[in-house]
Amino acid sequence: MIELGNIVTLENQKDYLLLEEVEMNSRRFVYAVRVLEDETPTNEYIIYEAINAEDGEYLKDVNVKEEYDYLVQLFKDKISEKIISGEYDDMVQEGET
């Protein structure tokens, strides 16, 4: 199941940590970062569409540039709102600054 906070392995054998999600036109999109084998995040961020099928859920590339650019702005807005509201404060572990 595709859930935020999970690490998923794609067909290309790369692992991605699912960070955030938005809905647009009854479609669900997730913002993810590629992680190394030891779960260290890289600087490779990407947006995928979450597709429900009879045999499970899948992540699909967003290939339309205009749609991808719009999604980038949606994710920026959502993350900014959560930072301002303090919603991410609980995610900072004790001792981190």
**What is the tens place of the pLDDT at every residue in 62-91?**
999 999 999 999 999 988 888 888 776 665
Q: What is the pLDDT of residues 8-26, one digit of tens each?
A: 999 889 999 999 999 999 9
Can you tell me the distance from the alpha carbon of 42 to that of 54, in angstroms, rounded to the nearest whole number?
32
50 CB contacts (<8 Å, ≥6 apart)?
2, 21, 28, 29, 30, 57, 58, 59, 60
Can you tell me the distance from the alpha carbon of 66 to that of 69, in angstroms, rounded to the nearest whole number?
5
**pTM given for the model:** 0.81
Can you tell me the distance from the alpha carbon of 34 to that of 16, in angstroms, rounded to the nearest whole number?
4
The pLDDT assigned to 9 comes to 93
Q: What is the pLDDT of residues 26-66, one digit of tens each?
A: 999 999 999 999 999 999 999 999 999 888 889 999 999 99
